[in-house]
Amino acid sequence: MRKDIEIPEVKDVYVAAVKELHEDYNTLDWNAYIINDGPEPLEMVLLTVQGYNETQMTTHMRHSIKILPAKGFAKIEFMEESVFKLDNFFSVTYFLNNKMYEKRFEFPAHSIMDDNAVALPVMDKDGVLAR
């Protein structure tokens, strides 16, 4: 029965957009990161990424990370500034202590900007956290 299905709550996992210097091109670029602020490593992290609004849609991108260490982070992808006008969604699924967790993180349209940057957990940088 549905009432018997346990859906664990995602805690201490974040998706953030971070503005960084690209060494080769000497440009400031936005990159998406997944952050594990928990005490245990995450296993088999699967991510799907897509941006859309009423008239436009990006392609579906898929990423995987075998293990994301405790108090660790990993770069997901470069974020082209032309997609900032779209609602950008990051669906994250992972295993922790033999349980599957899932959460959908969102960067609403026009939310990725320097003014929305905050200090990020684990990373020694500022960035925009997805909701």
* Residue-wise pLDDT tens digits, 35-84: 999 999 999 999 999 999 999 999 999 999 999 999 999 999 999 999 99
Query: Per-domain residue ranges for the chain?
Result: 2-129
Q: Do the Cβ atoms of 102 and 48 come closer than 8 Å?
A: no
Homologous superfamily, domain 2-129? Immunoglobulins (2.60.40.10)
User: How far, in whole angstroms, is CA 92 from its chain's centroid?
Assistant: 7
Angle at CA 59, nearest 5°, toward 54 and 60?
105
Is residue 109 within 8 A of residue 84, CB to CB? The reply is yes
pTM listed for this prediction: 0.92
Q: Residue 33 pLDDT > 80, yes or no?
A: yes
pLDDT at 115: 96
| Neighbouring residues of 29: CB distance < 8 A, sequence distance ≥ 6 | 19, 20, 21, 22, 78, 79
pLDDT(2) > 80: no
